[in-house]
Amino acid sequence: PRRAGLEQERGLVAARLGVLANIELPGALPRAAIPALLARADLFALPSLNEAFGIVALEARAAGLPVVATREGGAADLVEHGSCGLLAEDDADFAAQLATLVVDATLRRRMQHAAPRDLERYAWPAIARRHESLYAALAAAPAAQRKAA
C-alpha cells in the first residue's frame, strides 16, 4: 500500500518538475536485473536514513555511479564526500547535493571515475582478514586489556 502512495506522489512531483521521464522507481527486482538497471543510470540517490550497512551504495559504486546519500546510516561509511559521491545533512541538503550532481557534468564524470576505486577493501576476504587480525591481536593481549576493550 505504501508503495502505491509513493508511486503516485512521485508521479505528481516529477510531473510538476518536468522530469517524469527521467525518474524510475522499479521496486523489487530479481538480483540479475540490478546491473542492467544501474548501467542505465548517471548517479545513484540513496535518501534512506535506515540503511544499516549501505551495501546498495557499494553496488552503485561498483557500477561506476556517484552516490548521493545521507550522513546517517551505513552508506556514510562507504561514500567519501567529494570523491565518489556527496553526503547530505538533511532533506534540503540532500536535494541540493543531488541537484549539484545533476547539473555539474564535470563533477559527475569525475565521481563516476572515482566510484569503483578501493572497493576491494569491502570484499568478504578482505573483511575476514581484518577481523582475523583483530581477533589475533585481542587474543594476544593480556587479560586485563581484553576486559577494557
Using pLDDT thresholds of 50, 70 and 90, give the confidence band for residue 148.
low
C-alpha cell recorded at residue 32: 540479475
Please calculate the CA angle 32-71-8 and round it to the nearest 5 degrees: 55
Total Cβ atoms within 10 A of residue 146: 12
Please calculate the CA angle 36-42-48 and round it to the nearest 5 degrees: 85
Answering whether pTM is above 0.75, one says: yes
Q: In what order do the strands lie in the sheet with 85-88?
A: 44-46, 67-70, 85-88
pLDDT of residue 45: 92
User: What is the length of the chain?
Assistant: 149
Task: Please give the residue that has the higher pLDDT: either 6 or 15.
Answer: 15
How far does CA 120 lie from the centroid of its chain? 16
Task: Please give the residue that has the higher pLDDT: either 29 or 106.
Answer: 106
pLDDT of residue 13: 76
B/e letters for 89-117, b = 16+ CB within 10 Å, e = fewer, are eeeeebeebbeebeeeeeebeebbebbee
pLDDT digits (tens, 9 = 90+) for 123-144: 889 989 999 999 998 888 887 6
Using pLDDT thresholds of 50, 70 and 90, give the confidence band for residue 4.
low
Q: How far apart are CA 149 and CA 141, in angstroms?
A: 10
3-state secondary structure of 65: coil
pLDDT digits (tens, 9 = 90+) for 69-121: 999 888 899 999 999 999 999 999 999 999 999 999 999 999 999 999 988 88
Q: How far apart are CA 146 and CA 66, in angstroms?
A: 40
Q: What is the mean pLDDT of residues 17-30?
A: 78
pLDDT of residue 109: 96
pLDDT of residue 23: 74
Total Cβ atoms within 10 A of residue 71: 15
pLDDT at residue 7 above 80?
Answer: no
